[in-house]
Structure 1
Amino acid sequence: MSTTTSHTPGPEGPPRPVRLIQNEATTEIPVHLLFRDEPEPVSVPPRPAVVGRRQGTGEQPRLRRPAPEKARHAPQVDPALVERPARVLPGAVGVFAGACGVAGGLATTWWAGALPPLAVQALGLPSYTGAGLGPAQWAAYAGAGALGLFGFGGLARVRTGRASVLGLFGRYRGTVRRTGLMWVNPLLLRRRVDVRLRHWRSDEMPAADASGVALRVAVLVVWRVRDTARATLGVEDHERYLRECVEAALARVPVETHGSGRGCVDAAGEALTRLVAGDTAPVGIEVFSVRPSLVEYAPEVADAMQRRRIAALDAQHRATALTSVVDSVEDTVTRLTMRGLVELDDYERKALVKDLTVAFCAGRAEATS
């Protein structure tokens, strides 16, 4: 590397020398450009003049930014599988079509002459000897039967709080949320779904607290089906999927016992609700709350935790009793000394404190027993 000096003319006065760095691998670079104090733009990073690092240029290696961690995504189903209303007709249309089919069958029977005389008189039809059962009569029978079957076979009654998911040859054709009597294409497969607000109380499931102690937890889940198409066709069994999501959430969220405070239990319920709602939303299930209704220790650790709790309560009781006795002794000695009832030196004071402590502890033990 060699350093040369060139002269750059200034705006006023004689030209000033400018130092340059030059070697066989680089071009001439002014020295003052390597140590500029000018602030660089924040929004757009400067583009380096040299892409790779070359020996002898003094260029620093380019630092690569760490790739961002991939965010956890909820399970996805077919984006085209979204609930949409199905095409149905009022129930009166089906009743009318079925009645027309029955009337057509009776008329064809009268036309063929197979209708009994009593039926002819009851229906008020004119007497007719009949043309017999020929191809025309059989075709009329087929048409009337098909009309009657389609008319009465397509009648459906949807109750309040229920919905019917319709499909044809494995393809989703829509959802019926209307209530009452209506006519649906009888070729469509119907699946009834309960869309009411529902609650489910689980059996005791395994869980753990923040310390890793095994627990048995029962939760109360309030939920409903929001998208019938995804709930029915997106998963095999949406109720079973909900139960498994609750079990998975309990394995990830530590649950504290009711003795730890109401705030801990509420915080666990909010975390469970958030996790379960995020896992079940893609399959059309809306979860409102997941609250622990029963929290107890597992049978294998229940006895040990009970003994530990009793020991902690006993130690707390002893500490409280000792604090009360010490305060009482201090108050008694202070009053006796300040009122001038006794004059005590250090030895006498210690003896009095000892006697009062023993007396107060004995009296508290007798009162407790």
Structure 2
Amino acid sequence: MGSAADQTLLMPRVLAPADAVTERPGPCLPGWTAGVALLTAVLAAAWLLWRAALLPLPPLGGLLPDPPGDAARGSGLWSGLVLIGTVAALAGSGLVRGRPGSVWMLTRCGGYRGTVRRTGLLWISPLIRRRRMDVSLRHWRSRPIDAVDAHGTPVQVTVLLVWRIRETARAAFAVDDCTRLLREEVEAAVARAVSRRPADDFRGNAGTLRDCDRLGDDLGRLVSASMREVGVEVFSVTPVRLEYAPDVAAAMRRARIATLEARQRKAVLDDVLTAVADTLRGITERGLVELDDYERKSLVRDLTVALLATPEPAGRPH
């Protein structure tokens, strides 16, 4: 185990809420604007080449005048072509496609420029760095997480997490790795929630970790509260498996079986005592026989032994 300082350095760094940026719409244009710019650039280039007699056209019956020819060739022609090529390159390289479930994160020189959530064909300036970020609903099934219940018994819990990125700016800049932080927060929440109740209560009917709905609510509140500041929305944290650690699983299984057998014996004894009490009450109320204390005790003992020794009918539920 490393020192506390080393473990702190390994944890994902979360910025203070005051230092974290907030999401805002990024600059973009509809894709058709870039298409119009490309078409205009092509037509302008064709017109310049035609004026320089470098792009021969078929005769159109005198609709077009003759090109100027060599008079139009010169530095102006090549400057115009360079300018048109630059416009066409900017228009073409800025075309992107916005898909449902993902956004474009825009940055320039390390600074946040906005988030584009629009879908369809878009144009984003190629002078701005763009990065696609997944904001769709995601799920993650954890490995068995080691924890200790309220009685100090080691257990292993497997959870199913459903989440998504709600605010892209905080998720990208408020933490080094929001996915890694989310998984570590789930492990921390499991350790806290599991330690509040025992895994099983063999002596009473107190709340246990077998109540998956309650345990899931506790885990969801803990994880949501810790991930809200980094722009991650947690929908549910559902425990899908809860079992004892391998080193105590056999002993806890024996304890559970012993508890079930004790409860079954108690239930059988209660039924026998109820039957004996009903029998004595019926004899007394009908006046069939007068019994003193000694005879009553002897009759209770004999009836109890007889009923306990009677085998249960086949098919009777335990």
Q: Using structure 1 for the length normalisation, give the TM-score.
A: 0.70
1:311 equivalent in alignment to 2:248: no
Contact 2:157 2:241 in 1 (8 A): yes
Report the counterpart of residue 248 of structure 2 in structure 1: 301
Aligned in 2, Cα 1:314/1:153: closer, same or farther, shift over 3 Å? same
Shift of 1:81: 0.8
Correspondence for 2:304 = 357
Of residues 118, 121, 132 in structure 1, which corresponds to 2:58? 121
* Distance in 2 of aligned mates of 1:94 and 1:84: 23
Match of 1:281 in 2: 228
Say which is worse superposed, 99-108 or 256-265, in terms of deviation.
256-265
Please name the residue that 2:39 is paired with: 99
Higher RCO (Cα < 8 Å, 6 or more apart): 2
Whole-Å separation in 1 of the counterparts to 2:200 and 2:49: 78
Unaligned 5+ segments in structure 1 are 1-73
Q: Is the 8 A contact 2:209 2:215 kept in 1?
A: no
> Aligned equivalents of 1:226 and 1:263: distance in 2?
32
What is the match of residue 144 of structure 2?
A: 204
Q: Distance in 2 between matches of 1:299 and 1:126?
A: 92
CA contact (8 A) 1:156 1:184 kept: yes
C-alpha distance 240-289 of structure 1, shift in aligned 2 (>3 A): same
Partner residue, 2:290 = 343
Q: Does 1:237 align with 2:177?
A: yes
SS in 1 for 2:114: strand
Report the alpha carbon displacement of residue 201 of structure 1 after superposing the two structures with TM.
3.3
State the one-letter code of the partner of 1:152.
Answer: G
- Aligned runs of 1:153-172 on 2, under 5 Å? 153-172=93-112
Distance 1:157 1:205, change over 3 A: same
* Per-residue deviation, 1:353: 1.9
Structure 2: runs of 5+ lacking an equivalent: 1-13, 202-206
1:268 to 212, 215, 230: 215
Change (3 A) 1:94 1:313: same
How large is the RMSD of aligned CA atoms in angstroms? 3.0
Q: Percent identity?
A: 46
**Is 2:151–2:198's contact at 8 Å kept on the other side of the alignment?**
no
User: Secondary structure of the residue that 1:253 maps to in structure 2?
Assistant: helix
CA shift, 1:75, in A, is: 6.1
Mapped to 2, the partners of 1:162 and 1:347 lie a distance apart of 87
Letter in 2 for 1:296: E
Give the structure 2 partner of residue 217 of structure 1: 157
Q: 1:184 aligns with which of 124, 130, 142?
A: 124
Q: Distance in 2 between matches of 1:75 and 1:275?
A: 19
3-state SS in 2 of match to 1:318: helix
Q: CA deviation at 1:212?
A: 2.2
Q: For the structure 1 residues 308 and 258, does the alpha-carbon distance in structure 2 shift closer, same or farther, using more than 3 Å as the test?
A: closer
How far off its partner does 1:145 sit? 1.4
Counterpart of 1:320 in structure 2 is 267
Matched letter for residue 203 of structure 1: R
- 2:65 and 2:154 map into 1 onto residues whose CA distance is 87
- SS in structure 2 at match of 1:76: coil
Q: Which amino acid aligns with 2:240?
A: S
CA deviations 1:209-256 (Å, max 9, x no partner) are 221222222223333222111112222332222111111111222165
Matches of 2:147 and 2:59 in 1, distance apart? 75
Instruction: Please give the per-residue CA displacement for 1:27-71, whole angstroms capped at 9, x wherever unaligned.
Output: xxxxxxxxxxxxxxxxxxxxxxxxxxxxxxxxxxxxxxxxxxxxx
Contact 1:83/1:227 (CA < 8 Å) preserved in 2? yes
- Asked whether the equivalents of residues 98 and 150 of structure 1 are also in contact (C-alpha less than 8 Å), the reply is no
Q: Residues of 1 paired with 2:256 and 2:45: CA distance? A: 83
Separation of aligned partners in 2, 1:316 and 1:131: 109
